[in-house]
Amino acid sequence: MRHFLTINDFSKDEILEILEISKNIKKEAKKKEYKPYLKDQVLAMIFEKSSTRTRISFEVGIYQLGGKGLFLSSKDIQLGRGEPVKDTARVIGRMCDMIMARVYKQSDLEDLAKFSGVPVINGLSDDFHPVQIMADYMTMLELGVSGKVAYIGDGNNIANSWLMLASKLGLELSMATPNGYEPPKNVVNIALENAKKSGAKICINNNIKEAINGANVVITDTWVSMGQEEEKQKRIKDFSGFMVDENLMKLANKNAIFMHCLPAYRGYEVSEEVFEKHADEIFLEAENRLHAQKGVMVWLDKHRNVK
């Protein structure tokens, strides 16, 4: 049984295979050709964290693949009353065909995968957001953009997942975070080990200009993620100077694209001017959540009986 908990669980060939499936499914969707790859299957969608893009893209995605999505808020099921994750997993696995969970703890996803007996997809955790990064890279491929990727901002789940993708695919990734907000050392160490095999170039420091200089892709994320609201004022102060604005974008290559996983807070991690100038890229990225995730679901179903 294969799961989609972190990109580090996949080889380069497997990642590219999923994206090829996603690309073909998108072509079909543009022609309004919705093939029932997952006919009559039920996707259980567990949400501890609120969502716009994850909720819509998975629910629409499973519907277009011929199945049905079942929305399960943690407040509405027994998880919200303290039922062990492993018990919830065993119940859902006997009634549904696949699970997507948007949670706080990565360990909860691992328990779902261990006990459910069905494929489990990480729709976001505090540690990783792999489906978002698959959509990011799909967008780069679609736009024909390659070369240096610069990530500016918090060393969070987006940063962690980009480290996994870049190090697996052999990309150049330069990351700048405020002092004290670097990605976890264990994640960085995994990326550096992967890079030895793939030839990826990974650079992480606190120098914004060095990170963005000559980049073809610039990425950022919110400074205050869900569950960090009490840290908002401290984070705003600590992230001073890390807003991606026109002056900073001038250091990137002339035709560099800008991406943001959304929601975007103008005047904090990105300026209004940069956001609107690159809106087409950002919302193509958002749309590709739908297609990339359909590719993930179809691939997992195809490898359902693979150990």
CA dist 244 and 72 (Å) reads: 36
User: Is residue 65 marked as binding?
Assistant: no
Kindly name the residue from 129, 235, 260, 291 that is annotated as catalytic.
129
User: Is residue 78 marked as binding?
Assistant: yes
User: Is residue 266 marked as binding?
Assistant: no
- Host H or E run for residue 46: strand 42-47
User: Is residue 129 marked as binding?
Assistant: yes
User: Is residue 261 marked as binding?
Assistant: yes
- Name 261's Cβ contacts closer than 8 Å, sequence gap at least 6: 53, 129, 132, 136, 158, 221, 285
User: Is residue 2 marked as binding?
Assistant: no
Residue 83 CB coordination number (10 Å): 12
Verify whether residue 96 is a known catalytic residue: no
User: Is residue 131 marked as binding?
Assistant: yes
Verify whether residue 81 is a known catalytic residue: no
- Whole-Å CA distances, 301 to 106, 111, 249, 297: 22, 19, 41, 6
User: Is residue 53 marked as binding?
Assistant: yes
User: Is residue 122 marked as binding?
Assistant: no
User: Is residue 119 marked as binding?
Assistant: no
The residue with tokens 């998880």 is 79
- Whole-Å CA distances, 63 to 34, 39, 293: 9, 9, 12
Verify whether residue 278 is a known catalytic residue: no
Kindly name the residue from 3, 102, 235, 291 that is annotated as catalytic.
102
Residue 293 CB coordination number (10 Å): 29
Kindly name the residue from 97, 111, 127, 221 that is annotated as catalytic.
221
- Whole-Å CA distances, 19 to 84, 153, 167: 34, 26, 17
Kindly name the residue from 2, 96, 111, 132 that is annotated as catalytic.
132
CA dist 36 and 194 (Å) reads: 36
Verify whether residue 132 is a known catalytic residue: yes
Kindly name the residue from 154, 289, 291, 293 that is annotated as catalytic.
289
Provide the pairing of β-strand 98-102 with 172-176: unpaired
Kindly name the residue from 111, 261, 278, 291 that is annotated as catalytic.
261
User: Is residue 54 marked as binding?
Assistant: yes
User: Is residue 206 marked as binding?
Assistant: no
User: Is residue 132 marked as binding?
Assistant: yes
Q: Name the H helices within the chain.
A: 12-30, 53-64, 85-95, 106-116, 130-143, 157-169, 185-198, 208-212, 232-238, 246-249, 272-277, 279-302
Binding residues: 51-54, 78, 102, 129-132, 157, 221, 225-226, 261-262, 289
Binding residues for carbamoyl phosphate: 51-54, 78, 102, 129-132, 261-262, 289
What are the catalytic residues?
102, 129, 132, 221, 261, 289
Binding residues for L-ornithine: 157, 221, 225-226
